[in-house]
Amino acid sequence: MKSSSASPAAGLNDAQADAGKYRVASQGGDPTTLADVYQDIVNMAVWRRELSAELGEAVSAVLALPHGAEFTGTISPGNAEVATSQALGGEAAPALCKDIAYLVDMFCSLLGFEQAGLRLTVLKRAMCPRFHVDNVPCRFVTTYHGLGTEWLPHHAIDRSKLGRGSHGLPDCDSGLYRRADDVQRLNAGDVALLKGELWEGNENAGLVHRSPAVPAGESRLLLTLDVISH
């Protein structure tokens, strides 16, 4: 079943929505939900999923590695599993490597690319703590462990308060959004495609999001995939 986040855009057709730059998030429990990113009105598509017990154990094994997890590089569906396994030191987490390869294949197939820019990392602090938009066509994000990416519904934002428009004030005081409960968060395991400013027709409508604050003594295991253009 699919659902869209509540928005004044509900009921509008795509042409009307695009004219006013209304955007919603499409969320569902099936991977096919990710294809909704091609709808003009959608600026984030989320596959809501729960990690299997086997995958959860693999994630715990990676978090326990003495050298940590840090892998950044260009990857293809054909070499993703082997390359990820080598980066993690061999047989530490085969279920995780297999899942990453599956997601790389999904990302490349959906967007029509042969390669992706991959980053897998353990974070103990917020990587991008301020709300922002990405100057990319789209970004694929999943948090395997810890708090998920935070985001704001399009209708709840005063985009003039992004970046320098905040005048140095914290996001909660700048006027970027009105209420604390406007801030939404992805769950661990969720797979999301975040549409950026460089997606054709999505100028000034990229998803506004940020990294969550990581509580002391805790960590996140984050995977991101980006388009590789030639």
- Mean pLDDT for 164-183 is 94
Per-domain residue ranges of the chain: 2-227
The predicted pLDDT at position 8 comes to 36
Q: Does the pLDDT value for residue 2 go beyond 70? A: no
Question: Superfamily for 2-227?
Answer: Jelly Rolls (2.60.120.10)
Distance CA 195, CA 179 (A): 24
The predicted pLDDT at position 230 comes to 56
- Mean pLDDT for 172-185 is 95
116-129 residue pLDDT tens: 999 999 998 767 88
Q: Does the pLDDT value for residue 196 go beyond 80? A: yes
Q: Does the pLDDT value for residue 81 go beyond 80? A: yes
16-30 residue pLDDT tens: 344 457 999 999 999
The closest alpha carbon to 214, from 120, 143, 138, belongs to 143
Q: Does the pLDDT value for residue 32 go beyond 60? A: yes
